A = this chain, B = another copy of it.
Amino acid sequence: MNPVKFYKCLADETRLKSLLLISEAGEACVCNLMDALQLDQPKTSRHLAELRKCEILQSERRGKWIYYKLHPDLPEWAREVILGTARSNADYFAKALQVLNTSINNGC
């Protein structure tokens, strides 16, 4: 994982918040993140695809939905950056996290 490439992925509000949310929730599908971030579907999907191409996220289809989670092979230092950022900036995505949990519980 090239450090600059990694940070380029974090250098966008949609992608960073998606990562922080997924790191907290464990996993989430596109529709959950659309709700949580108040974004349209193509925008959400595109940014997730970019994170997947960089191998920061891994996707898995289960039935109709596609779930995203942190990639199991993500280097430890990179994982720590994401988790540490989440721990120290809870208020930055608190509202989105609340909506995300509601969305997950309601099953999309």
Q: Which residues of A line the B interface, CB within 8 A?
A: 2-4, 7-8, 10-13, 16, 75-77, 80-81, 84-85, 87-89, 92
Minimum distance in angstroms from A19 CB to a CB of chain B: 10
Interface majority SS (helix, strand, loop, mixed), chain A: helix
Q: Bound complex: CA of A84 vs CA of B80, how far in Å?
A: 9
Minimum distance in angstroms from A104 CB to a CB of chain B: 23
- Return chain B residues, CB-CB under 8 Å to A3: 10, 16, 85, 89, 92
Minimum distance in angstroms from A80 CB to a CB of chain B: 6
Q: Bound complex: CA of A77 vs CA of B17, how far in Å?
A: 17
Q: Are A7 and B4 in contact (CB under 8 A)?
A: no
